[in-house]
Amino acid sequence: MLANADLVAVARNEDSLIVGVARAISDFAYCTYLSDLAVDVDYQGRGIGRRLIRMIHENAGLDTRLILLAAPAATSYYPHIGMDKHESCWTIPPLEGERIKTS
């Protein structure tokens, strides 16, 4: 999972244990896809997720558009930190690739 990520940011506690991680792929010009953001529940509410996102975006280039798919339980988090919902996004759910029209 981490081997193919362009960017990885990690937050550690005072004992050097990982308490948060963000993973992204980017073309470093237009688009950065934040594929994972996770913060240990005991460390949530401390700005760790916000800092991880900022680290990823800064390293990809602040002129790239940061894109993510939110887990249903996290949809209220992203507007809270200043992200905008984008209305012109389409997805193909896993295992449904046959829905793509080829003609």
- Please state which of the ranges 14-18, 58-62, 97-101 shows the lowest mean pLDDT: 97-101
Q: Is there a contact between 49 and 41 (Cβ–Cβ < 8 Å)?
A: no
Which segments within 13-81 are labelled E, that is strand? 18-26, 31-39, 65-67
pLDDT of residue 2: 57
CATH class label, 7-99? alpha beta
Helix (H, G, I), strand (E, B) or coil at 53: helix
Q: What is the pTM of this model?
A: 0.83
- The answer to whether residue 47 scores a pLDDT higher than 60 is yes
Please give the C-alpha separations between residue 67 and each of 22, 45, 50, 74, in angstroms, as whole numbers. Answer: 13, 22, 14, 15
Q: How far apart are CA 52 and CA 47, in angstroms?
A: 9
Domain boundaries, the chain: 7-99
What does the alpha-carbon distance between residue 60 and residue 101 come to, in Å, rounded to a whole number? 33
